[in-house]
Structure 1
Amino acid sequence: MSDLVWSRDGGDWPNREASSFVEAAGIRWHVQKMGQGPPLLLIHGTGAATHSWRQLMPILARRFTVIAPDLPGHGFTQSPPSRRLSLPGMASDVNQLLRILKVKPKIAVGHSAGAAILARMCLDGTIAPKLLVSLNGAFMPFGGVANHLLSPLARLLVMNLLVPRAFAWQASHAGAVERLIHNTGSTIDARGIALYRKLVRSPTHVAAALRMMANWRLEPLLHDLPRLATTLLLVAAENDRSISPDVARQVSEVYPQAIIERLPGLGHLAHEEQPQDIADLIMRYASQPNRAGERPPTL
């Protein structure tokens, strides 16, 4: 149980040859880049890292220049001050990274909380992709009592420096990570399980995920979403136990131009379960010169 160090822990990292380290927003980022063509940005969700794109990224790289960072505090990227582990804070930090990289993505793909970060960036005018793909996007706050309890509880947890270490210690027990993945509704390969195990054994990684939960506020994003000026594709896996597929319908009520694609039989980590299918879906919509909210013909 220790924090991740590239020289020690990065030897078996997926697509390692595409990795580099970049200074931006006052922290050192781990970034992967591969392929040629229009720039496509991948942003992972809370508690994940670039490993989650391990199979999808090389497929997309056949047609795009694909850029995928580890979010602040996640994987091999340094943590910023805890107040910046919020939706606007992360959106701002990713924007600063893109400015250093001189990247203006034409396509933006986000998983879970990553989709919310990208939507915030679009609304703030820091990116202007022609297509925003939300993979099981975390756009809706928890409802009812949970909405009032979760953030205070998460704030209480992150104030206790022992909590991330206790979580990381618990994750080292046999079957713990397998249960976490099972609870997402997904089934992934043994390598994916091993990589998640590596991540959740890192107290720094766990602390960043908890601080994101504590700081996350989605109401301003939902208030602003009708102003979105790009095509929004909501990919909803029907077996997702982390983000209900009904969230896509709720988002479409706020932003009626959104397009919904449902994926039967897949869970929250659909892009790890069926990367080729997800790549085909992204490329089909990316190839269409449609206006925001206009559905391209089915191939």
Structure 2
Amino acid sequence: MTRRPDWVHDGRDWPNRIASQFVPAGGIVWHVQVMGEGPAVLLLHGTGAATHSWARLLPLLARSFTVIAPDLPGHGFTESPSEDGFTLPGMAARVAALLDALGHRPGFTVGHSAGAAVLARMALDGLLVPRSIVSLNGALVPIRNGPGDVPWFSGLARFMVTLPVVPWVLSWQAADRATVERLLAGTGSTIPPEQVALYTRLLRKPSHVAAALAMMAAWDLRTLAGDLPRLAVPLILVVGSNDRTVPPGDAERVRALVPAARIVSLPGLGHLAHEERPDLAAALIEEAALAPADR
């Protein structure tokens, strides 16, 4: 088992491979996919995923937009940053550096789960001023009685990150595809078998697992939640009613902090709603991107 995903082998049949490029920015080399023409749209995946999460959505959006979708630091085929690069502000700054290197300033942004938190941090820190943020089951506030709300959790995650054997053990467990299938089923989503295979491929790589652990160890959603009332960018909260990762009710907690936020429910879909129904996700994103600026 190799530690990092290898583009020649592990990326041999990567979804939308023709759109892939490798770009140095922010002290690391990124794997990023750029596809289509028109207004720029930035897609940021969540913890433990990579660009494969947009496999079927990206081509739909590319019919009308220039779509920019990177693997976040340490995830997929993007290099791992220094320790501060896994914090929420650190990751936001590095995504901004990537956009500078690409010469793009996307007017529209879409973030899944933790990706939505990165976009909110970028907007709050003045690193990006999009016309809107579409949050797909976004992890924007600490989950009550969950990792972001339990003080010892981040300490436990930090401890696990310091033990080199932990990512190897977890990736070894992922060698059993049934283990990954159970993990994904726990999100409340049913995704195509080819997507399950790609998650399995990545989770078998210790560096990918280590990056997910590092994010969980370094992130501070309490500070983000405290800053959300200052968010001046229109926020659209797309919520899968069957999400078992981020409680659907958390959207109301976010709207209490950002009263102008709009909630859109996707009945019967789970945390990976955009992988279950990319057509619905594309329609929502296109509606948000093409809406009048003063809506």
Smaller-chain TM-score range?
over 0.9
Deviations 1:212-260 (A, max 9, x none): 0000101221111111121100001000000001111100001100000
- The runs of at least 4 consecutive aligned structure 1 residues that moved more than 2 Å come to 142-146
Structure 2 unpaired stretches of 5+: none
Q: Given the alignment of the two structures, is residue 251 of structure 1 paired with residue 254 of structure 2, yes or no?
A: yes
Structure 1 residue aligned with 2:128: 127
Partner letter of residue 181 of structure 1? L
TM-score w.r.t. the length of structure 1 is: 0.96
Deviations 1:39-94 (A, max 9, x none): 00000000000000000000000110000000000000000112320101100110
Which aligned pairs between 1:44-59 and structure 2 lie closer than 5 A? 44-59=45-60
The sequence identity of aligned pairs, in percent, is 55
User: Distance in 1 between the 2:242 and 2:89 partners?
Assistant: 30
Partner letter of residue 276 of structure 1? D
User: Distance in 1 between the 2:54 and 2:215 partners?
Assistant: 21
User: Distance in 2 between the 1:224 and 1:171 partners?
Assistant: 37
- Number of corresponding residues: 292
Structure 2 residue aligned with 1:110: 111
Q: 1:174 to 1:124 in 2, by over 3 A?
A: closer
User: Distance in 2 between the 1:204 and 1:21 partners?
Assistant: 18
CA contact (8 A) 2:141 2:224 kept: no
Structure 2 residue aligned with 1:188: 191
Structure 1 residue aligned with 2:155: 152
Structure 2 residue aligned with 1:270: 273
Please report the RMSD computed on the Cα atoms of aligned residues, expressed in angstroms. Answer: 1.1
Structure 2 residue aligned with 1:297: none
Structure 2 residue aligned with 1:281: 284
Structure 2 residue aligned with 1:212: 215
Which aligned pairs between 1:43-122 and structure 2 lie closer than 5 A? 43-122=44-123
Deviations 1:98-118 (A, max 9, x none): 111111011000000000000
TM-score w.r.t. the length of structure 2 is: 0.97
User: Distance in 2 between the 1:276 and 1:174 partners?
Assistant: 27
Structure 1 unpaired stretches of 5+: 295-299
Q: Given the alignment of the two structures, is residue 202 of structure 1 paired with residue 222 of structure 2, yes or no?
A: no
